[in-house]
Amino acid sequence: MDLDLHVLTPADEEIWYAEPVDSSGGSLDVDCYCGSCEQGGNENVFWDYTGARPPAGAYTVGVFYYGYCQELDPPPVSTYTLRILESGREVFAETGELGPDGSTVHDHTWGG
C-alpha cells in the first residue's frame, strides 16, 4: 500500500510528496512509495532543530491512502501510526487502518 503524509501549515502551505519543502523550512524527508524506502514505510515532516523552527499556529496533519501496489480484489487495508512530536517529545499518537480512498486528519496547534 502507499500511504502519504500531508501537513498543512499556519501559512496555508501544504507539505507533501508533490511539494516536499515549504517557505518556513518544513520538509518531507521521503515519499515511501509501495515499500520502496530503506527505513520502511515511514514518512516524516520536520523542521531542523538547528535552524528552521515551525511557525506558531494551527496545523492540519493527515494520512491519506494513495493506492495499493498490486492488483488485489478487494483492495487491502493498511495500518498506519500518526505521531506528532514537539522537541522530540510525543504529544499525539493514533494508530488505525485505512482502505482505498481513506484518510485520517488531526488538527494540532504549535505554540512556537
- DSSP run (H or E) holding 28: strand 27-28
Q: What is the pLDDT of residue 111?
A: 85
The whole-angstrom separation of Cα 104 and Cα 65 is 9
The whole-angstrom separation of Cα 30 and Cα 87 is 20
Q: Could you tell me the pTM of the whole model?
A: 0.88
Per-residue pLDDT of the chain (112 residues; tens, 9 = 90+): 789 999 999 999 999 999 999 999 999 998 887 766 777 778 999 987 667 788 999 999 999 998 777 766 677 888 999 999 988 899 999 999 999 889 999 999 998 6
Domain boundaries, the chain: 2-110
Q: What is the pLDDT of residue 72?
A: 62
- Could you tell me if 10 and 26 are in contact, meaning their C-beta atoms sit under 8 angstroms apart? no
